[in-house]
Amino acid sequence: MKIVWKKKGDNEKKRSRAKLISSKQELPFESAEEAESLNHSHGDTLASDPNSKQLAESFESQGIQLAESGKYSEALAKWETAITLMPDKAKLHEQKAQVLLELGDTWNALKAATRATELEPAWSEAWITLGRAQLNFGEPAMAIESFDKALVIQPHNEEAQSDRRTASRLIKRQKQLHSSGLSITDSRYRVGDKDESTMPHKPLPPEPYEEQ
């Protein structure tokens, strides 16, 4: 399932949709570990520094423009840098999760989306992104829980409603496959494939033995 980046109005938090996952970011640090170390040692100072906040917002804006142009790796690098300056901004972690989904890094998308919900649990968009990451990770039941949390916050959110239906259909399909004895992997391979040569066949019965 593909999730497509969607441009929002300036009055909304800009976010993308993901398809139903590590790439090396070109950060201004030698490694992600070094950036993390900088966060821990100077996080409070950076967050309270007006210049750092302004710089982080500049990196965030550049990342949004890059993501809307489909340049997800470059956008990720910008947001990673912004996070080192403003590590407690939920929006940055949520946007990071979206581009990680686009890049196929589901595990790190899960971590980033989870962090966004921890920082801003009353933000429905963060729960939607977490649900999509869980869905891509093969956990539709957990995804439904996240979509439900989004709908508690924003009951008429069409994206959450649509994605929840997708997760529900996937659970139903998994149950059908389990009852039929087919694996999920086999089913995905054969979805929409009407070529009989690729369909499972029962073994032919042995030919009767004839005495000479």
- Answer with the residue of higher pLDDT: 116 or 14: 116
Considering the chain, what percentage of its residues have pLDDT values greater than 70? 62
DSSP string, the chain: -B--EEPPPTTS--EE--B---PPP--SSS-HHHHHHHHHHHHHHHHH-HHHHHHHHHHHHHHHHHHHTT-HHHHHHHHHHHHHH-TT-HHHHHHHHHHHHHTT-HHHHHHHHHHHHHH-TT-HHHHHHHHHHHHHTT-HHHHHHHHHHHHHHSTT-HHHHHHHHHHHHHHHHHHHHHHHT--HHHHHHHTT---GGGS--PPPPPPPP---
CB 84 within 8 A of CB 60: no
Name the band, by pLDDT with cuts 50, 70 and 90, for residue 183: low
β-strand partners of 19: 2
- CATH assignment of 5-191, among 1.10.630.10, 2.60.40.10, 3.40.50.1000, 1.25.40.10: 1.25.40.10
Q: In terms of C-beta density within 10 A (0-12 exposed, 13-18 middle, 19 or more buried), how is residue 103 classed?
A: middle
pLDDT at 10: 41
Cα(163)–Cα(147) distance, rounded to whole angstroms?
7
Confidence of residue 180 (pLDDT cuts 50, 70, 90): confident
Q: Please, what is the average pLDDT of the chain? A: 75
**Phi (first) and psi of residue 165, to 5 degrees:** -65, -40
pLDDT at 24 over 60: no
For residue 146, pLDDT over 90 is answered with: yes
- For 199-204, what is the mean pLDDT? 39
Instruction: Please report the pLDDT score of residue 46 as a whole number.
Output: 52
pLDDT over threshold 70, residue 178: yes
The pLDDT value recorded for residue 105 is 96
Amino acid (one-letter) located at 139: E
Q: Which residues of 143-158 are buried (b: 16+ CB within 10 A; e: fewer)?
A: bbbbbebbbebbeebe
Instruction: Look at residue 31 and tell me whether its pLDDT is greater than 50.
Output: no
d(CA 192, CA 190): 6
Output 31 or 120, whichever has higher pLDDT: 120
Residue-level pLDDT at 48: 58
* Averaged pLDDT for residues 167-180: 87
What is the domain partition of the chain in residue ranges? 5-191
pLDDT of amino acid 41: 46
Q: What is the pLDDT of residues 76-124, one digit of tens each?
A: 999 999 999 999 999 999 999 999 999 999 999 999 999 999 999 999 9
